[in-house]
Amino acid sequence: MTKVVLNVEGMSCMHCVNAVKRAVGSLKGVAETTVDLAGKKVIVEFDPALVSINSVKEAIVDQGYSVV
Amino acid sequence: MTKVVLNVEGMSCMHCVNAVKRAVGSLKGVAETTVDLAGKKVIVEFDPALVSINSVKEAIVDQGYSVV
């Protein structure tokens, strides 16, 4: 299991937090998704054999946010 | 039909806009709901014989926003 902390811009409320958690959490291989709204961070624990960090980033971008 | 402009605090993104539009728009008697996110305004066109402005305000507050 790998843990990565992503800096994500654009999340402004609990709806955004839920949208990101839902999108990332639905990827096969993602074990846990934590969003720090104030800190603008998304912490993802995933199995790199099942999902790439690029797929995780894409899922966040698809929701309308920027991974910086 | 009556048109009222409400000043609403706390809406920060399109998810918020949609939550407010959905909540207010589902009230019987509401004909149109427009949200001005940047201007912090919710414009509601409704039939006062079917729904009160207080019910409209309650629907917004129930979503977690403040009518000021």
Digit-coded pLDDT (tens) for A39-64: 999 999 999 999 999 999 999 999 99
Rounded Cα distance, A6 and A66, in Å: 10
Rounded Cα distance, A12 and A37, in Å: 7
**In this complex, do B16 and A19 lie within 8 Å of one another by their Cβ atoms?**
no
Contact indicator for B31, B51 with CB cutoff of 8 Å:
no
Q: Confirm whether pTM is higher than 0.90.
A: no
Rounded Cα distance, A1 and A43, in Å: 13
Query: Is B28 within 8 Å of chain A by CB?
Result: no
**Which two tokens mark B53?**
């402005």
Question: How confident is the model over A16-37, as pLDDT tens digits?
Answer: 999 999 999 999 999 999 999 9
Query: Is A19 within 8 Å of chain B by CB?
Result: yes
Tell me which of B13, B18, B20, B21 to substitute to probe the interface with A (most A C-beta atoms closer than 10 Å): B13
Which one, of B68, B3, B5, lies nearest residue B36 by Cα?
B5
Name every chain B residue with its beta carbon within 8 A of the beta carbon of A12.
Answer: 12-13
Question: How confident is the model over B8-43, as pLDDT tens digits?
Answer: 999 999 999 999 999 999 999 999 999 999 999 999
